[in-house]
Amino acid sequence: MRRTAKATGAARAGSERKAGSSRHPNRRPDASKPDPRAPPVSDAAARLQPAGLPQTELAPGLYLVATPIGNLGDITLRALAVLQGADRIFCEDTRVTGKLLARYGISRSLAAYHDHNAEQMRPIVLTALRRGERVALVSDAGTPLVSDPGYKLVRAALAEDLPITAIPGPNAAVTALILSGLSPDAFLFAGFLPPRQAARRRALARWAAVEATLVFYESTPRLAESLADMAEVLGNREAAVARELTKLHEEARRGRLTDIAAHYRLAGPPRGEAVVVVAPPECREPDQTEVDERLRAALAELGVRQAASKLAAETGMPRGELYRRALAMRDGEK
């Protein structure tokens, strides 16, 4: 097979892509499936050494290490160096992290630190840190603490002035944001919405007036109903659903909230993991007919004051003006 310069370069850089296979940028093994075609792990680790892995001993402290969100090629050189040099690694699921370490020929003591045992494990981690150990914290995927365990541990370590550092890397929220085509100038990461509709709508109402792109994590079985609620509470804004990021079947579906919701309602829940990105409230002032229509719809469910507040949040129009209009509508002026 004739290799293009690009393909050769990728191979030299350590890609696991099989010669002659598709050039999809994400055709690499994902976390859940070890790739049988991968080179022996010792080769993979050796290849990393000349690329500049710091050989110095790690300083004592807590290392918050980001790991891939699907594509194992997304681990950073520093992350590997820290995982290799740590006295112990705390992780959500030892099987998941074990696979990652095995892939890079790293053999280290692993212990679980997750939502269900964090209270018992935190004192053990703190004791290790007090003793001057090098301790790494990772989650199953992405950046620890971001919708993942670790925040209370960081607070506890800071309270004792124990050294902490972060090894940045993959994060699904930021990856989805930059892929969404929506403004990255100001964004608000809102984590997971509540699973129940009433609580979800209340949570969305709190974000409605925020003049920033909103980023949510959402489970794929709930996508359709969540997107419909977003359209209802935030207005029918531009949005994107980014799914299976960094993996072979990565997809970004862009459009208005109601259209994307309709797609998933008809197609059924997609596989994998997803992030929803929603544009900020539109600055464009809607015309009077549209305002009246939206006020009328809001008044069917809400009182005058609440309807005016809702529309003010969605459109950025002055609440007082909307209140007077809603009052007039209620009193039958139009």
Residue among 333, 296, 328, 332 at smallest CA distance from 311: 296
Which of 253, 330 has the CB closer to ligand SAM?
253
Q: How far is the CB of 54 from ligand SAM (least distance, A)?
A: 24
Write each residue from 117 to 156 as x if it is in contact with ligand SAM (CB under 6 A), else as -, in one continuous string: ----------------------x-xxx--xxx--------
Task: Evaluate whether 274 touches 69 at the Cβ level (below 8 Å).
Answer: no
State the first-to-last Cα distance of the chain, in angstroms, to the nearest integer. 74
Which of 217, 264 has the CB closer to ligand SAM?
217
C-alpha pair distances (Å), 80 with each of 70, 83, 104: 16, 5, 8
Instruction: Tell me which of 74, 229, 244, 314 binds ligand SAM, using CB under 6 A.
Output: 244
Q: Is 274 in the site for ligand SAM (CB under 6 A)?
A: yes
C-alpha 85/C-alpha 135 separation (Å) is 9
| Cα-based torsion angle of the residue sequence 322, 325, 330, 332 in order, rounded to the nearest 10 degrees | -170
Q: How far is the CB of 13 from ligand SAM (least distance, A)?
A: 22
| Of 2-10, 44-52, 228-236, 268-276: span binding ligand SAM (CB under 6 A) | 268-276
Instruction: Tell me which of 17, 28, 243, 310 binds ligand SAM, using CB under 6 A.
Output: 243
Write each residue from 209 to 238 as x if it is in contact with ligand SAM (CB under 6 A), else as -, in one continuous string: --------xxx-------------------
Which of 157, 242 has the CB closer to ligand SAM?
242
Residue among 245, 223, 227, 244 at smallest CA distance from 236: 227
- Collapse the DSSP code of 167 into the 3-class scheme (helix H, G, I; strand E, B; otherwise coil) and give the result: strand
Q: Which two tokens stand for residue 147?
A: 């919708």
Q: Which two tokens stand for residue 161?
A: 């002035």
C-alpha 248/C-alpha 24 separation (Å) is 7
Q: How far is CA 236 from the centre of its chain?
A: 22
| Of 3-11, 47-55, 165-173, 255-263: span binding ligand SAM (CB under 6 A) | 165-173
Task: Evaluate whether 138 touches 76 at the Cβ level (below 8 Å).
Answer: no
Task: Evaluate whether 60 touches 132 at the Cβ level (below 8 Å).
Answer: yes
Q: How far is the CB of 48 from ligand SAM (least distance, A)?
A: 23
| Of 113-121, 156-164, 272-280, 308-316: span binding ligand SAM (CB under 6 A) | 272-280
Which of 171, 180 has the CB closer to ligand SAM?
171
C-alpha 12/C-alpha 222 separation (Å) is 42
Write each residue from 56 to 95 as x if it is in contact with ligand SAM (CB under 6 A), else as -, in one continuous string: -------------xx-------------------------
How many Cβ atoms from other residues are within 10 Å of residue 76's Cβ? 16
Q: How far is the CB of 141 from ligand SAM (least distance, A)?
A: 5
Which residue ranges make up the site for ligand SAM (CB under 6 A)? 69-70, 139, 141-143, 146-148, 171-173, 217-219, 242-247, 273-275
